[in-house]
A and B are shown apart, each in its own frame.
Chain A
Amino acid sequence: NAGVMQNPRHLVRRRGQEARLRCSPMKGHSHVYWYRQLPEEGLKFMVYLQKENIIDESGMPKERFSAEFPKEGPSILRIQQVVRGDSAAYFCASSPRLVGMEMNTEAFFGQGTRLTVV
């Protein structure tokens, strides 16, 4: 059972271009979370999706950022018109159900996509 797969691992974009980050959750996992990590900081929650639905996007910037998790295929985090401040590591995590004690499950993280905006 492959882990959470993120691609590309490294992505370089010029200011103003679009960045598309992909996340394939573990088999059987229908819950996907996206996090962003700026240098020297912890991970910051961005968005939580289930298949075909955005459940919680409270951590997502209001402009230029969007996410989807279609019925078929990977989850996509899309950043339009990138700026230097978007340079960060973007992590995706997946779980088979909600994470928590009662659910007795955890979220599994991918290796991340390191976005550099030049």
Chain B
Amino acid sequence: DQQVKQNSPSLSVQEGRISILNCDYTNSMFDYFLWYKKYPAEGPTFLISISSIKDKNEDGRFTVFLNKSAKHLSLHIVPSQPGDSAVYFCAAGINTNAGKSTFGDGTTLTVKP
């Protein structure tokens, strides 16, 4: 049973437009959520996180929204840039040790110039 799901394997967006990546989870114990970006042949790089006590967290062009009742979160990138093209992983954990996280299978974002 996959506890963190990213239902869109890929997403293509025009440069300058908004990219919206979605993630659903099933485990009610999760209270800390993270987004990672990964380039080929590299390790994941932390982007942004959100705790379950919030419904939004913003950092520059990146905003994460959390809907606890729907067990859904999304990552918005505005404006999208070609350098944002990568695989994005949603991860969920328990705040006491979110280093042990459950990852989704990733969404490959392509931003076209």
Interface residues of A (CB under 8 A from B): 4, 6, 31, 33, 35, 40-45, 48, 56, 59, 91, 93, 95, 98-102, 106-112
Contact = CB atoms under 8 A, between A and B. Distances in A.
B109 to A, nearest CB: 15
Considering the complex of A and B, which 6 residue pairs feature the smallest CB-CB distances, nearest first? A109-B43, A42-B103, A99-B99, A101-B51, A100-B95, A106-B46
A99 B103 contact: no
B99 A112 contact: no
B105 A40 contact: yes
B85 interface: no
A60 to B, nearest CB: 12
Contacts of A48: 97, 99-100
B70 interface: no
B21 interface: no
Nearest to A102: B95
Given A101-B98, A110-B43, 5 more contacts: A35-B103, A40-B105, A100-B32, A100-B94, A111-B42
Nearest to B106: A42
A56 B94 CA distance: 14
Contacts of A101: 32, 49, 51, 53, 95, 98
A96 to B, nearest CB: 11
Interface in B85-113: 89, 91, 93-106
Contacts of B97: 48, 56, 98-100
A111 B41 contact: yes
Contacts of B51: 101
A95 B42 CA distance: 18
